[in-house]
Structure 1
Amino acid sequence: MKKTKIIATYGPAVSSGTKVKQLVDAGVNLFRINCSHGKREDFLKAVKIIRQGTKSARFPVGILFDISGPKLRVDRFDGELPVKSGDRVTLTTDTTDLSQKKIAVNHPAIIASVKKGERLFIDDGNIVFKILKTNKTEIVIKAENNETILPGKGINLPDTKLKIPTITEKDKKDIKTAVDAKADYIALSFVRSGDDIIEAGKLIRKYGGTQWVIAKLEKREAIEDLDTIMLLADGVMVARGDLGVELPFAELPRMQKDIIRLANYHHKPVIIATQMLESMRFSPRATRAEVNDVATAVFDFVDAVMLSAETATGNYPVETVKAMTEVIEATEEVSVKGDTAVDKHLIKSEITQAIAYSVHTAQEDTDVKMIAAYTSSGFTARLISNLFPPQPVIALTSDTKVLAKLCLFRSVYPVKVSQPKTFNAMIKTINGICSKHKLAKQNEMIIIAGGVPFGIRGTTNFMMIHEIT
């Protein structure tokens, strides 16, 4: 069983229960619904199809709603506008007039926020401009390279403090849809500060949800407030597309590793995203650079790697997942984890923490096949996961809401069970699970962590080594 999880983006290429099942069989652990494309009915239909395709899965499969955020774009005009280095272009809140090299933008805050001398990028940084003049309705920008501006392309403002809310009115509706659909995670795009995470949490609770918030790190401002965001978010995603435009590209590898280390320190799951196997949208084979990209994330002990267009619209979605699974498994076989810095002061329960470390020590000194963690909230399994055991961590819980949320965490595979009332009942349940899921054979050793009295939240207080009978 692989430890690193795979997130696949739902889309037209996999829009049937059969295709969803094929992706799960190939190694997918969570599905991402991209709220940049579609409306409430589309998202609810997607959830229905995903649940249909995952109902027979060996372990629960999670659903993540990716909220689109305030994506800044040029107008979806007809035609194209070639520009040469030195050309001047006007961006406006009015209407597009290509004959005058004037292009409308989709949000007036673009014009209101920028200052003379700042940089402006179009099309994921492929076209670089410098801002020469600004007024209330227009800005004049000068091209610094030769390219062609195409309709609807994105705008990045790496030097600008945007005067725009991170959570738009559409985002609020999509968050409500995620809550109504009983999604497990909500990923918040273009996070700039910890306040954005607080606002998202308030909205989720207002709509009656308990979803966990994943902060997508793709803005320079987010990097500047990273410690606060890491404390407040339930997890983070390194969204390398926009982040790679906002930061000098040479800084991105180091920043990725810094984010992973900080997430591990704070006991938060971390996802690596964007173009991991991009070439497999059109080819049945990945490039060597892409294979190394996935392997690097696995060597860094991330919780999950994510596929976007590769599965949503690509020609080889199932083959892509199989390739990613193959790379993950081959890399995990030779992965060696050194000491990891974690913040013990963030742990509310010293006893639970002590049990997690005892499990970690025991698995190093004993030939155990798996770790079984009874958990009411998922906390015990998450702590053990954060110590990167080579064995699968089977999280046993009776709480359905906790079940799918644990799908994201490295090594953790949740199983729904009734809370045992006696020690013998616990052993019987675990023996049955090991047999059903082929996790350990008779006479093989496993570790069990849990709490007595049984069924009481927050009572993790024992660890034992058990021989399967």
Structure 2
Amino acid sequence: MPIHTPTAAPDRRGAKILATLGPASSSREVIAQLVDAGLDAVRLNFSHGDHDTLAAIIARARAAQAASGRPLALLGDLQGPKIRIGVLPAPILLHAGWTVRIRPQGASAPGAPAPGAPVDGLLPLETDYAGLAAHVQAGQRVYLKDGLIDLEVTQVEPDGPDAHVDAVVRNGGMLTSRAGMNIPGVRLDLPALSDKDLADLRFAVEQGLDYLALSFVHDAADLRAARSALDALGSDMHVIAKIETAFALERLPEIMQAADGVMVARGDLGVEIGAENVPIWQRRIIDAAAEALVPCIVATQMLESMVSNARPTRAEASDVANAVWDGTDAVMLSAETAVGDYPVQAVAMMDRIIRRAEEGGDAQRVARAGGDWSRDASRSVSWAVRAVVEQNADVRAVIAFTISGYTGRLIAQDRMRVPVIVLAPARAVEQRAALLWGVRPVHCPPPADLDAMLRTVDAIARAELGCEDGAQVVVVGGVPLNMGKPTNFLQLHAVGEARHAAGD
């Protein structure tokens, strides 16, 4: 149940910005400009680019992080079991009423027309999914290019060397090589992790990425497969479940329990369930993530027109603001920054939209209360933190010590009205926290004892917030210190008290 309406302080932003790096944004100079414009996290799309190219981008992103003094979360996005049309000699405009014949790649008979060359009103195409004919039937819809092209299956030849699917074009459009294919309601006979995905996963571990996004998640078993592969490599990288299938929506609770975070991947999800249903499910997914205490990212076409225009449409600005009001932890840019003409302007615009949306307390998504305190003592501490903050108007910040990052994740979900500074001894934990709502991560060696912890708090409050002696901050963490204990310590602390108590 909502109990208050948090508003981000004027000098900070709650929701974070995740941007995809690509040809338009992979140079050292542009990455530095993106960070200056407000970038909090980087997405690397493993569907494009080889490992050498991606490694160079990662190195530049980490260099920009070091130069700015602000941690960046780096996310590797696996391609997953996406099926595609094969290679075409050139883009071709499909017209309504045309018939296409789709065969598995390499299965065309000798002397048959080449893919992409219409013959007698029939356009031959290929797909990289050999099982297509076994999984569709007459009357079924098949969508290409994120739903822009609509096909209706008319005939299926499922067996033999000439296995194929015939379909009539209901809604045409320009078809290009390797265009994505969606078949709503059909679970493909493909593993959660392809050989390419496993190779990319190993690369992500070698490069020290902070998050791994798993595409086309159907259930918790898909996430366990990714976690098992990471465990085998000795990695504790956090796994983000991309929610983009109807199957995932049916299994949302189990996915939330198995994931370290979720992404509302609205492109493929919209093809699966219809665009009119996406806003409803966006809010439901965000709410489910908040209940499960995992961060949520809203993605796809948020400022799409900025691929080729210096300013977004009013509808796009409203889309970003509504995601913020729904309560998302982060919003994501894709083509806008990867291949667009205005990558830096897109990040700066998203920063301004978020800040403006968060200025109005009557509009900001309310924090949540309720739940079972006895089930999770650390969560009850986070509610106690919020109570102290709300009951003491002079509190300047919450400063949380964490080993695993869990304390920061707890407090982030409570949407404090003051800055939340998360102090982490491990760089990986610090970087992961950069994706959490309202959290300012700071690398901090573990203090030896409580007195040392409070002296550290004083130093951080002065350096990060400009606090003077007497300013109030809430200190939270787990004791005994440095042992990974659950969050069980809270103190309303006046800056300078530790020094005075020590006789300095």
Q: Which position in structure 2 is the counterpart of 1:233? A: 259
Say yes or no: does 1:99 pair with 2:99: no
Aligned to 1:445: 472
Cα distance, 1:301 vs structure 2: 1.8
Task: Encode CA deviations 1:415-435: one digit per residue, 9 max, x unaligned.
Answer: 121222233322221121122
Q: Counterparts of 2:171 and 2:336 in 1: how far apart (Å)?
A: 30
Cα distance in 2 for partners of 1:150, 1:429 equals 57
Correspondence 1:113 to 2:135: yes
Q: C-alpha displacement at 1:464, in angstroms?
A: 1.6
Q: Return the match for 2:426 from 383, 394, 399.
A: 399
Gaps of 5+ in 1: none
CA contact (8 A) 2:88 2:116 kept: no
Instruction: Work out the number of aligned pairs and report it.
Output: 467
| 1:23 corresponds to | 34
- What is the alpha-carbon distance in structure 2 between the residues aligned to residue 234 and residue 342 of structure 1? 22
The partner residue of 1:170 within 168, 188, 196 is: 196
SS in structure 1 of the partner of residue 488 of structure 2: strand
Alignment of 1:56-455 (within 5 A): 56-93=67-104, 94-95=107-108, 96=115, 98-100=117-119, 101-134=123-156, 135-136=158-159, 137-335=163-361, 336-338=364-366, 340=368, 344=372, 349-350=376-377, 352-367=378-393, 368-438=395-465, 440-455=467-482
| Alpha-carbon distance between aligned partners in 2 of 1:106 and 1:405, rounded to the nearest angstrom | 35
C-alpha distance 47-359 of structure 1, shift in aligned 2 (>3 A): same
- Residue 433 of structure 1 aligns with an amino acid whose one-letter code is I
Deviation, structure 1 residue 18: 2.5
Name the aligned partner's letter for residue 118 of structure 1.
Q
Q: Deviations over 1:274-297 (max 9, x none)?
A: 111111122221211111111111
Counterpart of 2:111?
none
Is the CA contact (8 Å cut-off) linking 2:298 and 2:328 kept in structure 1?
A: yes
CA distance in 2, matches of 1:152, 1:353: 46
Seen in structure 2, the aligned counterparts of structure 1 residues 78 and 60 have a Cα distance that, compared at 3 Å, is: same
Q: Secondary structure at the match of 1:8?
A: strand
**Cα distance between partner residues in 2 of 1:231 and 1:434:** 35
What do residues 167-190 of structure 1 show as CA deviations (whole Å, max 9, x unaligned)? 111000000000011100000111
State the alpha-carbon separation in 1 of the partners of residues 205 and 15 from structure 2.
26
- Is the CA contact (8 Å cut-off) linking 1:370 and 1:440 kept in structure 2? no
Normalising by the residue count of structure 2, what TM-score does the alignment of the two structures yield? 0.89
Separation in 1, partners of 2:342, 2:143: 31
**Could you tell me how far apart the structure 1 residues matched to 2:83 and 2:380 are?**
47
Contact 2:399–2:421, Cα closer than 8 Å, also in 1: yes
Q: Counterpart of 1:108 in 2: which secondary structure?
A: coil
Q: Choose 1 or 2 for highest CA Rg.
A: 2
- Say if 1:373 and 1:449, in contact at 8 Å, map to a contact too: yes
Task: Tell whether the 8 Å contact from 1:204 to 1:211 is kept in structure 2 after alignment.
Answer: yes
User: Is 2:56 aligned against 1:45?
Assistant: yes
> 3-state DSSP class of the match of 2:87?
coil
Amino acid at match of 1:273: A
User: Taking structure 1 as reference, are residues 129 and 342 closer, same or farther at Cα in structure 2, changes over 3 Å only?
Assistant: farther
Kindly provide the amino acid, as one letter, of the partner of residue 326 in structure 2. D
Letter in 1 for 2:73: G
Cα distance in 2 for partners of 1:220, 1:77 equals 30
- Of residues 168-177 and 226-235 in structure 1, the stretch that sits farther from structure 2 once superposed is 226-235
Amino acid of the structure 1 residue aligned with 2:79? S
In the aligned structure 1, how far is the partner of 2:41 from the partner of 2:54? 15
Gaps of 5+ in 2: 1-11, 109-114, 497-504
What's the CA shift for 1:342?
Answer: 6.5
Q: Is the 8 A contact 1:118 1:159 kept in 2?
A: no
| 1:343 Cα deviation after fit | 5.1
C-alpha distance in 1, partners of 2:137/2:370? 41
Cα displacement string for residues 312-364 of structure 1 (whole angstroms, at most 9, x for unaligned residues): 1111111111111111111112144435266547x8641x2222111111111
Bigger CA drift: 233-242 or 313-322? 313-322
CA offsets, 1:132-170, max 9 Å, x none? 221232011122234343332211101322111221110
8 Å contact kept, 1:266–1:343: no
Structure 2 letter corresponding to 1:371: V
Work out whether residues 426 and 443 of structure 2, in 8 Å CA contact, stay in contact via their aligned partners in 1.
Answer: yes
- Measured after TM superposition, the shift of residue 221 of structure 1 is 1.4
Q: Which has the higher contact order (CA 8 A, sep 6+)?
A: 2
Name the % identity: 34
Task: Name the CA distance, whole Å, in 2 between partners of 1:360 and 1:221.
Answer: 36
Alpha-carbon offset, residue 191 of structure 1? 1.1
Whole-angstrom CA distance in 2 between matches of 1:284 and 1:342: 44
SS at match of 2:239: strand
Counterpart residue type for residue 121 of structure 1: Y
